[in-house]
Protein backbone atom coordinates (compact mmCIF):
# COMPACT_ATOMS: atom_id res chain seq x y z
CA UNK A 1 0.00 0.00 0.00
CA UNK A 2 0.97 3.57 -0.63
CA UNK A 3 1.42 5.89 2.39
CA UNK A 4 -1.14 8.28 0.88
CA UNK A 5 -4.63 7.59 -0.45
CA UNK A 6 -6.46 9.82 -2.91
CA UNK A 7 -10.21 9.65 -2.29
CA UNK A 8 -12.72 10.98 -4.84
CA UNK A 9 -16.43 11.37 -4.16
CA UNK A 10 -18.18 10.00 -7.24
CA UNK A 11 -21.80 9.72 -6.07
CA UNK A 12 -24.05 12.40 -4.67
CA UNK A 13 -24.58 12.96 -0.97
CA UNK A 14 -28.38 13.59 -0.99
CA UNK A 15 -30.35 10.48 -0.12
CA UNK A 16 -27.55 8.83 1.83
CA UNK A 17 -27.67 7.80 5.48
CA UNK A 18 -26.75 10.31 8.15
CA UNK A 19 -23.81 8.14 9.23
CA UNK A 20 -22.43 8.16 5.69
CA UNK A 21 -22.87 11.93 5.40
CA UNK A 22 -21.01 12.43 8.66
CA UNK A 23 -18.23 10.11 7.51
CA UNK A 24 -17.84 12.03 4.23
CA UNK A 25 -17.80 15.28 6.19
CA UNK A 26 -15.02 13.87 8.40
CA UNK A 27 -13.08 12.96 5.24
CA UNK A 28 -13.71 16.55 4.02
CA UNK A 29 -15.57 15.41 0.92
CA UNK A 30 -18.36 17.88 0.35
CA UNK A 31 -18.93 17.94 -3.41
CA UNK A 32 -19.05 15.36 -6.16
CA UNK A 33 -15.86 14.74 -8.20
CA UNK A 34 -13.65 16.35 -5.55
CA UNK A 35 -10.47 14.58 -4.47
CA UNK A 36 -8.74 14.69 -1.10
CA UNK A 37 -5.47 13.15 0.03
CA UNK A 38 -5.41 11.25 3.33
CA UNK A 39 -2.80 9.17 5.08
CA UNK A 40 -3.27 5.44 4.80
CA UNK A 41 -4.21 4.60 8.39
CA UNK A 42 -6.56 1.96 9.81
CA UNK A 43 -8.96 4.73 10.87
CA UNK A 44 -9.23 6.14 7.35
CA UNK A 45 -9.55 2.66 5.85
CA UNK A 46 -12.44 1.93 8.24
CA UNK A 47 -14.16 5.16 7.20
CA UNK A 48 -13.70 4.23 3.55
CA UNK A 49 -15.19 0.80 4.20
CA UNK A 50 -18.39 2.52 5.37
CA UNK A 51 -18.76 4.72 2.27
CA UNK A 52 -17.13 2.48 -0.33
CA UNK A 53 -20.12 2.73 -2.70
CA UNK A 54 -19.84 6.54 -2.77
CA UNK A 55 -16.09 6.99 -3.31
CA UNK A 56 -13.18 5.84 -5.47
CA UNK A 57 -9.87 5.22 -3.71
CA UNK A 58 -6.55 5.50 -5.56
CA UNK A 59 -2.95 5.16 -4.50
CA UNK A 60 -0.52 7.98 -5.22
CA UNK A 61 0.87 6.22 -8.30
CA UNK A 62 -2.61 5.58 -9.74
CA UNK A 63 -3.66 9.18 -9.12
CA UNK A 64 -0.56 10.63 -10.81
CA UNK A 65 -0.93 8.29 -13.79
CA UNK A 66 -4.58 9.30 -14.24
CA UNK A 67 -3.75 13.01 -14.04
CA UNK A 68 -0.90 12.57 -16.55
CA UNK A 69 -3.22 10.69 -18.90
CA UNK A 70 -5.82 13.50 -18.66
CA UNK A 71 -3.15 16.12 -19.34
CA UNK A 72 -1.91 14.21 -22.40
CA UNK A 73 -5.47 13.87 -23.69
CA UNK A 74 -6.06 17.62 -23.38
CA UNK A 75 -2.77 18.43 -25.12
CA UNK A 76 -3.74 16.45 -28.22
CA UNK A 77 -6.66 18.69 -29.06
CA UNK A 78 -5.87 21.29 -31.74
CA UNK A 79 -6.66 24.91 -30.91
CA UNK A 80 -9.91 26.32 -32.28
CA UNK A 81 -9.33 29.24 -34.68
CA UNK A 82 -12.28 31.50 -35.36
CA UNK A 83 -12.18 34.24 -37.96
CA UNK A 84 -14.55 37.11 -37.24
CA UNK A 85 -14.01 38.76 -40.60
CA UNK A 86 -16.89 38.55 -43.05
CA UNK A 87 -16.37 36.41 -46.14
CA UNK A 88 -16.62 39.43 -48.48
CA UNK A 89 -13.71 41.19 -46.73
CA UNK A 90 -11.39 38.27 -47.37
CA UNK A 91 -12.45 38.04 -51.06
CA UNK A 92 -11.87 41.79 -51.76
CA UNK A 93 -8.24 41.63 -50.58
CA UNK A 94 -7.33 39.26 -53.45
CATH number at residue 14: 3.30.1390.20
Task: Quick: pLDDT tens for 70-81.
Answer: 877 766 667 777
- Considering the entire predicted model, what is its pTM? 0.66
Range of the domain at 27: 4-63
User: What average pLDDT does this structure show over 24-38?
Assistant: 86
Position 30 scores a pLDDT of 84
**70 found inside a domain:** no
**24 found inside a domain:** yes
The span from the CA of 26 to the CA of 24, in Å, is 5
**11 found inside a domain:** yes
**12 found inside a domain:** yes
Which H/E stretch holds residue 34? none
pLDDT band of residue 93 (cuts 50, 70, 90) is low
The edge-to-edge listing of strands for the beta sheet with 55-59 is: 35-39, 4-9, 55-59
Instruction: Count structural domains, the chain.
Output: 1
**94 found inside a domain:** no
Position 92 scores a pLDDT of 57
Amino acid sequence: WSPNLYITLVRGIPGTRRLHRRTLEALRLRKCNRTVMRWNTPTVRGMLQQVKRLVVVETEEMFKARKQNEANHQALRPPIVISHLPASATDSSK
